[in-house]
Amino acid sequence: MNRRFGARWLLWCALLLFSGATEAAARSYPMDTMAPRSDLAELIQSVYVQVTLWDLLVLVVVIVALFLAIFWFSTRFGEPGEEPVQFHSHMGLEVAWTAGPILILVLITVPTVRAVFNTQPYHWPKEALTVRVIAHQWWWEFRYPSLGAQTANEVHIPADRMIHFELESADVIHSFWMPALGGKRDVVPGQINQITLVAKVPGEYYGQCAEFCGASHANMRFRVFVDTAEGFQRWVADQLKPPVMPASGLASEGARIYQNAPCAICHRVKGISGFSKQYEGGFRGPDLTHFAGRSTLAAGVLDNTPDNLATWIQDPQTVKPGALMPRLGLKGHELTALVAYLESLK
Amino acid sequence: MAAQPKEIAGQRPSYLAEGGLVGWLTTIDHKRVAVLYGLSSLFFLFVGGFEALLVRTQLAVPNNHLLSADTYNQMFTMHGTTMIFMVIMPLEIGFFANFLIPLMIGARDVAFPRINALSFWVFIFGALFMNAGWLWHALPDAGWFGYANLTERYYSPGMNIDLWDIGLLILGVSTLLSGLNFFVTIVNMRCPGMTFMRMPMFMWAMLVTTVLILLAFPALTVGLIFLFLDRFIGTHFYVAALGATPILWQHLFWIFGHPEVYIMALPAFGIISEILPVFSRKPLFGYAGMAYALVLIAFLSYGVWGHHMFSTGMGPVADATFSITSMLIAVPTGIKIFSWIATVWGGKLRMTTAMYFALAFILEFTIGGLSGVMHASPPIDLQQTDSYFIVAHFHYVLFGGMMFAILGAFFYWWPKITGRLLDEKLGRWQFWLTVIGFNGTFFPMHFLGVLGMPRRIYTYPAGMGWTFWNSFETACAYLLGVAFLIFLVNLVRSLRSEQAVGDDPWDARTLEWSVGSPPPAHNFDDIVTVRGRDAFWLMKYGSHDAPGHDSSAGARASAAHAEAGHAHVHLPAPSWYPLLFAAGLLVMGVGAMTWLRVVFLGAGLLLVSIVGMGFEYATYGQETEESRATFFRGVDSRKMGMWAFLGSECVFFACLISTYMVYKARNLGGPDAAVLDIPLTSFSTFVLLTSSLLMVLALAAIQRGDRKWSAIWLFGTAGFGLVFLGGQVYEFSKLYLVEHLAMQDNLFGQTFYTLVGTHGTHVAIGVVWLFVMAFAALKGKLQQSRSLAVEIAGLYWHFVDIVWIVIFTLVYLMRSIKEA
């Protein structure tokens, strides 16, 4: 009975695995850790591959030994035959399986320790671009101290230039993770952690908070845009421009609503609202100066479309439980106008 | 309550024979306590499984909103906390070890039967306390390792974390007492001939586990006390302000937390080391190596806590160090795995369900161990930590390892515990469903981790490539649920079956199978004498080379009970006080969350039950004929217990002192150690140290039977202790009133008051104890034969004094060294 059932199960599993594999071939994996796009991620992957190979070797040895022991070098209770020899130790064997793993560990340790020291330099080259990351419950603030620019939830960095992320927390412990660009690093209040890397391939990458940080931990995502050097220059220049002030129409109506509604208490639109106080390490809410230039809203949770924006403003708690953003009670025309204004902030 | 010890002569009723609710509530029989543990943790197993299934259901499809974020966070937190503290540990330690330790080492009970019952009641009340959150939808919700500063009042204002904090403190008391109890039992209560190197491997595992418990849990206690103070009094131990850092919690938690992994793993190793030899009909391979490997794992486990913190930015030196120490653990673990395989090799395998689980354990645990080697490497860890890869890893260790061992243990020892076999056919169904469900649920988590899915997210968007594996895992998780339902059916059916099982259904090797199934209340009719490893096998077959299975039941019985003597067995009387003690602790916990007065009520209950238990213990401090016969290991069990407790206290104070040292160096603003009054404290130090001398004189006096002088010296010791306390009260008042230093003010304030105050509390307890003793001496109740009572109190008192020498040096004399 068991054997037949086992076989059927095996078949089922194989089928499922196969369909999984075909799905895998068809899909993209925005958070894949095995598709390194920076020097840091490549180094990590090389260590990972080495250790995995050693692990697989040990696993194969254990499986072979175990199956030989069960199915080959043993008999079954109830079968005729002698009682087993009561041997209980063998010095040579025991020394071998102590020394073998030690040897493997040495081989793993060397690249590990080397990578540890290489990825955590005490000094950075002067030309490294510093990006200050300030984690909030539950969104990300990005500042470029040397450029005077700041943005939220979508960080732009130039390719082929050393980037030095300085991680700072405004509240609890978070973890800054961009799988394609390297390992995560916790964002700890009261201390500044660092990640240094050189991104190699321009493109859009996903990131997410990896340390449980409260109700909406799952909704604390971000995007990394690795630009070409020129692309990055253009982006910075855009960021430094003052926001567009709509002259007329729905958007200008929205601008008035924005200024009169409580939005401006927490969010900054450069030159228009100056209320937003520095709050410990940063702002209470994301900077909206070039909001429409971002592809997502609410920390990577929704695509940045007028409809989604309206949903978010109407009921932030449904999109992001626990978020500080209150329900403002805006609806109808007012809401449309506000959305129109925000979406005009290219 | 005042029941007399029972006399049992000749007949051997099973330990389950006497029923009645009161009997179970007041029982102090290790087997009954074990059964209570077993039932409660089976209940929590299904609670934890239910939570797991809710979590899996939520993740089955992207953007699922079946559970709210809040509920989901409570579920995964409670799933982890429940499975670790209310299922795996109590099943391994409270149920199997509790039942088996005395039986395996040839003892009649554990060293401290009342404390054993007390451990259980504290455990169950602590577990219920934490689960009270179900009633208010306020279960703990910050993850099982509850990282500060998310757990601070500001970020978690509800009662959720209060329940977690206080609940874990209560559970910690239970575990610590169990650890102490079993440690003393194994060291002290082994029957004649049962040397350490002849003990069953499960006993070795438990011995090492209890040491780990004693030395690891105090770190958690200290961490939880700090959290309690932060949440209730407004100190700043884990707030990123005034120079404090939330990372302190992670250090304290993982100094406990990594040994905790081995507190769960080592008993499982022990279980496997019992099952494999029996069903292979061969002795355990490499016994000595296996025992040393256990010790080595335990030793190394204290030096690896940092590998949980690679991503916190400890710096390359710490990362590299913790990485190397962590990897080293693979060596003794490898020894164990290969030795298990060698045990099976060449055996005559009896493929029971227990054996299936044990064999599967080897493979599943190896997978978990190997992925552990991966993230012992910090660069890899930075990608894998807090992702589903880690979830896969620790479920391969905790489920594929510990739970498989536990299930194997159920099938192996169930007949001994209940006198009924579990059904093999159902067992086989359960086994295969478990293997398929388990691997189907957790193996794809490796893929999800590699694909970048973070753990602890209540929802995830479509288009991440995570959907398929998540749905697949959820389906398999339900399969796993079915497997456990089959298990439940099997347990219930076996209990209702009439078919009794023999004493030794597996032709096993260790002593527990030499007694009845279920065993009699007093375990062994006569004291057993052991002549080698696999003691029962030797009794049956005369040598390790089994000549066949020709031994009749009669021959076995006569072999097992060859030793004559002891027709009358003293069994300690049942007691209400353990239950009362636990109730007191529970009331204190409730009080902490409601009204302060309730705390005092609870403390009152606690005091009454401690005193009650003290008086109940008729032989306390007395070296009776019985105690000499039972405690033949040289050091009296009570003294050994005190030593074990003091060992544990060392870690407790070490954590407090290191926190003080670290935070003193980080202190920003406000008064610091410069305000301390050295001359005054030097004087009270002198007084306290002198009191130790008086204590020595008191003990000397009672030992030579001089009651008058022993009373005088005891009063003197207590009096000097009082003087010291008076000095401390004066010092604290001055600091508070003159220097305006409150606990909440700065890092120096909170760590100073906590450290020195905790020591003061220890002194105060000692003073009360000494006064009780002194009055007893005055009343003539303290005879020469009870000198042990004074000796134990003395041990405690000297320890408290020694701790003070350390505190005085580091806090007072070295106050000016800023970066000490």
Q: How far is A243 from chain B (nearest CA, A)?
A: 32
Disruptive mutation site among A110, A114, A169, A211 for chain B (greatest number of B CBs within 10 Å): A211
The per-residue pLDDT for A243 is 83
Domain boundary assignment for chain B? 30-496, 669-813
How many Cβ atoms from other residues are within 10 Å of residue B226's Cβ?
26
Least confident of B220-224, B327-331, B552-556: B552-556
Q: Is B545 exposed, middle or buried (0-12, 13-18, 19+ CB in 10 A)?
A: exposed
DSSP 3-state of B407: helix
Query: Would you tell me how many other CB atoms lie within 10 Å of the CB of residue B4?
Result: 7
β-pair partners for A156 = A225
Contact call for B246 and A5, based on CB within 8 A: no
- The secondary structure of residue B454, as a DSSP letter, is B
Nearest chain A Cα distance for residue B677, angstroms: 32
Does B452 contact A74 at a Cβ distance shorter than 8 Å?
no
User: How far off is chain B from A292, nearest CA to CA, in Å?
Assistant: 22
Options 1.10.1740.10, 1.20.120.80, 3.40.50.12780, 1.10.3720.10; which CATH number does B669-813 get? 1.20.120.80
Beta partners for A144?
A149
Per-residue pLDDT in tens (0 to 9) along chain A, 346 residues: 445 555 666 666 666 666 566 555 555 889 999 999 999 999 999 999 999 999 999 999 999 999 999 998 888 888 887 788 878 888 899 999 999 999 999 999 999 999 999 888 888 888 899 999 999 999 999 999 999 888 999 999 999 999 999 999 999 999 999 999 988 999 999 999 999 999 999 999 999 999 999 999 999 999 999 999 999 999 999 999 888 788 878 888 888 888 888 887 788 887 775 554 554 445 688 888 899 999 999 899 999 999 999 999 999 999 999 998 888 888 888 899 999 999 988 8
| pLDDT score for B784 | 79
pLDDT for B380? 94
Asked if B155 lies within 8 A of A48 by C-beta distance, the reply is no
pLDDT (tens digit per residue) in B592-644:
888 888 898 998 888 888 878 877 765 566 655 555 555 455 788 888 999 99
Where in chain A are all domains bearing CATH 2.60.40.420? 21-75+92-228, 249-342
In a mutational test of the B interface, the residue from A42, A64, A91, A94 whose CB has the highest number of chain B CBs within 10 Å is A94
Who contacts A295 (Cβ-Cβ below 8 Å, separation ≥6)?
A154, A204, A223, A303, A304
Chain B residues lying within 8 Å of A317, measured CB to CB: none
Q: Tokens 């968007």 appear where?
A: B461
> Measuring CA to CA, which residue among B419, B422, B420 is closest to residue B517?
B419
Count how many pairs of residues, chain A against chain B, have C-beta atoms within 8 Å: 324
- Please tell us whether the domain made up of A249-342 is placed in CATH 3.40.50.300: no
Report the sign of the C-alpha dihedral through residues B235, B237, B238, B242, in that order: positive
pLDDT, residue B545, reads 53
Q: How confident is the model at residue B6 (pLDDT cuts 50, 70, 90)?
A: very low
Cis before B518? omega within 30: yes
Residue B406's nearest CA partner among B598, B255, B275, B541 is B275
B671 closest CA partner among B722, B593, B746, B591: B746
Which of A28, A31, A197 to mutate to test binding with chain B, by most B CBs within 10 Å of its CB? A31
**Which bin fits A324, alpha (ψ -120 to 50), beta or left (φ > 0)?**
alpha
Chain B residues lying within 8 Å of A115, measured CB to CB: 377-379
A188 exposed, middle or buried (CB, 10 Å; 0-12, 13-18, 19+)?
Answer: buried
Q: At what angle do helices B787-807 and B747-778 cross, to 10 degrees?
A: 160
Angle at B705 between CA B699 and CA B706, to 5 degrees: 80
What is the token pair recorded at B806? 């350390």
**With pLDDT > 70 as the criterion, what percentage of chain B qualifies?**
92
- The number of CA neighbours under 13 Å toward the Cβ of A167 is 21
Fold classification of B30-496 (topology level): Cytochrome C Oxidase; Chain A (1.20.210)
> Average of pLDDT values for B677-695?
92
Contact A97 B335 (CB under 8 A): yes
Average pLDDT, chain B: 89
Distance between CA atoms of residues A298 and A313, nearest Å: 10
Cα distance between residue B10 and residue A138, in whole Å: 71
- pLDDT confidence of residue A16: 62
Cα within 13 Å of Cα(B661), Cβ side: 16
Torsion of CA B80, B84, B87, B89, to 10 degrees: 180
Whether the CB of A66 is below 8 Å from some CB of chain B: the reply is: yes
- Residue A165 CB coordination number (10 Å): 23
CATH class of A21-75+92-228: mainly beta
Give the DSSP H or E segment for A89.
none
Helix ranges, B3-90 (H): 21-25, 30-59, 69-81, 89
What pLDDT shows up at residue B630? 52
- HSE-up of residue B271 (Cα within 13 Å, Cβ side): 33
Q: Are B702 and B621 in contact (CB under 8 A)?
A: no
> For residues B64-74, b (16+ Cβ closer than 10 Å) or e, as one string?
eeebebbebbb
